[in-house]
Amino acid sequence: METSSAAALLLKKQLIELQKSSTEGFSAGLVDDSDLFKWDVMIIGPYETFYEGGYFRAILQFPKEYPNRPPVMKFTSEIWHPNVEKNGVVCISILHEPGDDQYGYEDAGMRWLPIHTIETILISVISMLADPNDESPANVEAAKQFRDDYNGEFKKRVRACVRKSQEF
């Protein structure tokens, strides 16, 4: 379809680019070689955080209006984090649709822009893991633990996910 051909081309170029250079902290490829709009990514838990040692897998699903609209990112590995919904959907500002205020961000941070790449998205997600935003949580329970019981229940839940993620 013509509408998605520019999008498909841009995704294909990124695939080639990501395959030829090594990246720090993540890997990314297609779920199925025939579908450029569905990516399988793996994020390595950042060092010196509770997520260290984890290999978290996720699906990046691009809409056919990409790059005008952002992809949805959803962890398929279990992950406990204030900005990840319990069903795995990642809620960070750069993945928000333009004009989408469903999470009540006052200071919206940087929203989705067509110039974002898979690499900039994943770098933002890694930085989200290292530095959760408990002001606008997607997982209220995790946010509450993050604030009130950081080294107790929060750490325990996160480390359990890390162990699970290593079992492949």
Partner 1 sequence: MTAEADPMSHDDNVIAQMDQISKDIANKSPLVSEPEPVENLKSEYTQNHGFLAKIEHLTKSYSKIRRVRGDGNCFYRAYAYTLFDACKRDAALRDRVFKKLDTTLAWLVQLGMPSFTTEDFHDTFVETLKNHCDSGTYDSLMETFNNDGMSNYLVVYVRLLTSGQLQQDSDEYLPFVEGLYKDMKEFCDKEVMPVDREADHLQIKALTECLSFPLKLVYVDRSEGGPTELVIPDGSSPDVSLLYRPGHYDILYD
Q: Where in the sequence numbering do the catalytic residues fall? A: 91
Q: Distance between CA atoms of 11 and 141, rounded to whole angstroms?
A: 36
- Sequence-distant (≥ 6) Cβ neighbours of residue 78 within 8 angstroms: 88, 161, 164, 165
Is there binding between residue 6 and partner 1 (CB under 8 A)?
A: yes
Taking CB under 8 A as the binding criterion, the range among 2-10, 46-54, 131-139, 140-148 that sits at the site for partner 1 is 2-10
For residue 168, with 0-12 CB atoms within 10 Å meaning exposed, 13-18 middle and 19 or more buried, which class applies? Answer: exposed
Is there binding between residue 49 and partner 1 (CB under 8 A)?
A: no
- Residue 134 Cβ vs partner 1, minimum distance, rounded to whole Å: 23
For residue 100, with 0-12 CB atoms within 10 Å meaning exposed, 13-18 middle and 19 or more buried, which class applies? Answer: middle
- Residue 156 Cβ vs partner 1, minimum distance, rounded to whole Å: 24
Q: Distance between CA atoms of 61 and 34, rounded to whole angstroms?
A: 14
Taking CB under 8 A as the binding criterion, the range among 22-30, 58-66, 136-144, 159-167 that sits at the site for partner 1 is 58-66
* Sole residue written with tokens 């325990």: 156
- Residue 111 Cβ vs partner 1, minimum distance, rounded to whole Å: 5
* Single-letter code of the amino acid located at 40: D
Residues 96-135 interacting with partner 1 (rule: CB under 8 A): 98-99, 108, 110-117, 119-120
- Sequence-distant (≥ 6) Cβ neighbours of residue 27 within 8 angstroms: 41, 42
Using CB under 8 A, pick the residue from 35, 64, 131, 160 that binds partner 1.
Answer: 64
Is there binding between residue 23 and partner 1 (CB under 8 A)?
A: no
Question: How many residues of this chain interact with partner 1, rule: CB under 8 A?
Answer: 38
Site of interaction with partner 1 (CB under 8 A)? 2-7, 9-10, 13-14, 17, 59, 61, 63-65, 67-69, 72, 74, 76, 87-89, 98-99, 108, 110-117, 119-120
